[in-house]
Chain A
Amino acid sequence: MSLNRKKKKEEDMSNQKPYTKGTFTVQAIMTVAAVFFIAPIFIILNYSFKGKKELYLSSPLSLPESLNFENYMKAYKKLDLATTFTNTLIYTAVSVFILAILCGTTAWAIARCKRKFFKFCYIYFIVGILIPYQALFLPIYMIGYRMNMTNTRFGIIFMYVATGISFGVFLMNSFMSTVPLELEESARIDGCSVFKTYFKVVLPLLKPAMATLIIMQSFQIWNDYLLASLYVSKKQLKTLTVAIHSLFSAQSSDYTTAMAAIVISVLPIAILFLSLQKYFIKGMTVGAVKG
C-alpha cells in the first residue's frame, strides 16, 4: 500500500512541469486542433436531431429547433436494427470472447515453452500481422464458400477469430514478461497442471492486457465491413455496417437519418471504450514500450 502511494507520488512529481508561456501557447494550439477534431462529431450529432426542412434552411452549426428523435426512429426501421444490432453484437461478443481465451493461452504457452515448435509459432503468427486479411479477402471468401461457411454465423465468427488471432497473440506476448515466474513455479510445486496454472495464476494478472485486447478486437470486428459484406448476404444474418452501407446509398440526399444511424452504430463501442479506457491506456503503454 505504502509502496503504491510512493509510486503514485513519483508519477505526480514527474508530471509536474512548470507552466510557462510556451506551455500556454501549446495549450492554445492543441485546443484549436481539438476543436477541429471534435467538430465533425458535433455536426453529426447536431444533424441527427434536425428535420428535413432545417437541413436546407439553417446553418450546419446552428442547434436543432427541438430535440426530435424522428430520425432515430426512421434509422431504427431502415437499418432493421433489432436484427442487425443483435447479429453484430453476437458476432463481436462471441469472437472477442474466443479471442480473449485463445490469444492468452497461445501467447503464454509460446512465452513459457522453449521448444522449437513454439518459437516457430511466434514467427508464424507474426505473418498475420504483416499481411492484413484484407489483402487476402478473395481466397478467404473462396475457402469460406468451399467449406460452406458463408451465410452462417459459425463461418463469420470463425473468420473473425482467424483474422484477429495474430495481433492478439503478439499483443498478449508482450505482456508475459510482466507475469512473475515465481508465482507460476510455486503454483506448479503445489501440483497445479499447466491449465490450472494459467487460469488460476496467470490470467488474473493479465487484466490490463485483456482490456486492451478486448477493446482493440471489439472495435475492429464491430466496425468491419469487407468480411461481413463477403460472408453474409442473407437478410437475417446481416451486420450493422452492411445495413448502414445500404442506408447510405439510399439516403444520400436526406442524410439526417444516416447521421442518426451513425450515432447508433458508434454508441456501443464508445461506451465500451470509455468504461475500459483506464486499463486500455495502461495496456497500450506496456505494449508500446516493449515493442
Chain B
Amino acid sequence: MKNKINYMERRMSRQYLLLVLPGFIIFTIGLIVPLFMAVRYSFTSWDGMSPEKLYVGFRNYIDLFQDSEFRDAWWFTLKFTIGNTIIQNVAALLFAVALDSGIKAQKLYRTIFFIPCLISALVVGFIWLKMFSNVLPAINDFLGTSFHFLLFGQKETVLSGLLIANNWQWIGYWMLIYLAGLQSIPAELYEAAKIDGAGAVKRFFHVTIPMLAPAITICVVGITTGSLKVYDLLVSSTKGGPGRASTSMIYQTYTTAINGRQYGYGCAMSVTLVLALLLVALIQVKSLKKREVQA
C-alpha cells in the first residue's frame, strides 16, 4: 500500500515537472542565458563581427566610469524614473480615490483614463511630438494666448515634456490597481474611524494608505522598473535630443553597441542597468514590505 502511494506521488510529480519544463527551458534560453552572456561579453572588446573575442578584464567597466556620455544617460534615466515614480503614484492614487468616492459614471471615467496605455509607447511619443510642436501652438494662435509648448525643443524642458507623455500613457493603468485595492477595503474600518472622530484626511492617512500597502508595493516597483527601461518613447519623439539631453540608458546602449559596433562595451552598460534594476527592486520590496507588516 505504502509503495503504491509512493509510486503515485512520484508519477504525479513527474507529470507536474512536464508541465513546468517547457516554460522553464524557453525562459532560460530567452532571458537567463542572455543575462550570463551579457556578463561574459562585458569582459571582452568584441565588435560584433570578428570571430575572436579579446578578453580585456575590467577595462570596459573602468572606461564606463570615465565616460561622460554614460554618466549623462544615467542622470537622465534617474531623473525620468524619480519624476515618474512620484507623479504617477500620487496621481494614480488620487484618481482612484476620486473615482471611488461615489461619483456617477465611474466606469466611463475608468475606461477614458485607461485607453492611452493601449497605445504603443512609440506612437505615444509621436503623438506628443505633434501635440507640442503643431497642435498646441495652433490652439495658442486660435485663442490668442502665448503659452510655451515646444517642450521637446529645449534641453531644459525636454524632461517635463517626456514626463507629460509618459504619465498620460500610464496613470490610468496604475489607477486601476489602486482602484481594485480601494474597493477591497471593508467599509466597517471607515465607520469605526469615523466613530473614533477621525476626519477625512486622517482616515485617508490612517485607514486608506495602510490598507493599500500591497497595491503601493506593486505600483512603486512597476513604475520604477518601467521607467528605467524607457526607450520606445524616445525613438519617435526626441531621438535622445536635443543634443543628448534625453538619451536614456537603453538608448545609449543601443547607439553604442548596434550603431557603434562596440558589443563588449555595450554589454558592460547592460550589466550596470541590470544591477541597478535588481538593487532598486530589492530595496523597494524590502522597505515597502516592512511597512506592510507594520500596518
Q: Enumerate chain A interface residues (CB-CB to B < 8 A).
A: 14-19, 22-23, 26-27, 29-30, 33-34, 37-38, 40-41, 43-44, 59-61, 102-103, 105-106, 108-110, 112-113, 115, 117-118, 121, 124-125, 127-143, 158-159, 161-163, 165-166, 169, 193-195, 198, 219, 222-226, 230, 241, 244-245, 248, 255, 258-259, 262, 265-266, 269-270, 273-274, 277, 281, 284-285, 287-291
Contact = CB atoms under 8 A, between A and B. Distances in A.
24 contacts: A16-B102, A26-B101, A37-B168, A103-B23, A106-B20, A113-B16, A117-B17, A124-B27, A124-B32, A136-B31, A136-B34, A136-B38, A139-B267, A140-B31, A166-B31, A223-B118, A223-B120, A244-B120, A255-B134, A266-B118, A266-B119, A270-B115, A288-B180, A290-B214
The majority secondary structure among interface residues of chain B is helix
Interface string B179-197: 0110110010000000000
A137 B130 CA distance: 29
Nearest to A161: B26
A245 B19 contact: no
A285 B184 contact: yes
A168 B189 CA distance: 33
Interface of B: 12-13, 15-17, 19-20, 22-24, 26-27, 29-35, 37-38, 41, 48, 95, 98-99, 101-104, 109-123, 126-128, 130-131, 134-135, 138-139, 142, 168, 172, 176-177, 180-181, 183-184, 187, 214-215, 217-218, 221, 225-226, 228-229, 231-232, 235-236, 250, 253-254, 257-258, 263, 266-267, 270, 273-274, 277-278, 281
B184 A241 contact: no
Contact of B38 (A37, A138, A266): A138
A29 to B, nearest CB: 7
Given A194-B15, A277-B111, 6 more contacts: A33-B113, A134-B231, A140-B31, A223-B122, A245-B122, A245-B235
A106 B278 CA distance: 24
A111 B126 CA distance: 43
A138 B267 contact: yes
B37 A143 contact: yes
Q: Which of A134, A198, A225 neighbours the largest number of chain B CB atoms within 10 Å of its CB?
A: A134
Contacts, number: 264
B30 A159 contact: yes
Given A33-B95, A130-B281, A143-B34, A225 B120 contact: yes
A102 B37 CA distance: 25
Contacts of B109: 30, 34
B33 A143 contact: yes
Do most interface residues of chain A lie in helix, strand or loop, or is the interface mixed?
A: helix
A288 B181 contact: yes
Given A225-B235, A291-B217, A26 B103 contact: yes
- Of A14, A30, A169, A245, most buried by chain B (CB within 10 Å of CB) is A30
Contacts of A166: 27, 31
A131 B236 contact: no
Contact of A102 (B26, B104, B235): B26
A267 B157 CA distance: 32
B30 A162 contact: yes
B270 to A, nearest CB: 5
A169 B103 CA distance: 36
B168 A40 contact: yes
B116 A265 contact: no
Given A139-B37, A285-B183, A59 B263 contact: no
A289 B181 contact: yes
> Which of B20, B180, B250 is the most central at the interface, judged by chain A CB atoms within 10 Å of its CB?
B20
Q: Which of B35, B38, B103, B215 has the most CB of A within 10 A?
A: B103
A169 B110 CA distance: 27
B235 A40 contact: no
B184 to A, nearest CB: 5
Contacts of B250: 134-135, 137, 226
Given A136-B35, A139-B267, A288-B181, A241 B120 contact: yes
Given A60-B139, A113-B13, A244-B122, A165 B270 contact: no
Contacts of A165: 23, 26-27, 30
Contacts of A109: 16-17, 19-20
A117 B17 CA distance: 9
B271 to A, nearest CB: 9
A27 to B, nearest CB: 4
Cβ-closest 5 pairs across A and B: A162-B30, A17-B102, A291-B214, A223-B120, A139-B34
Contact of A132 (B95, B116, B225): B225
A22 B98 CA distance: 10
Nearest to B172: A37
A194 B16 contact: yes
A177 B258 CA distance: 45
Nearest to B273: A135
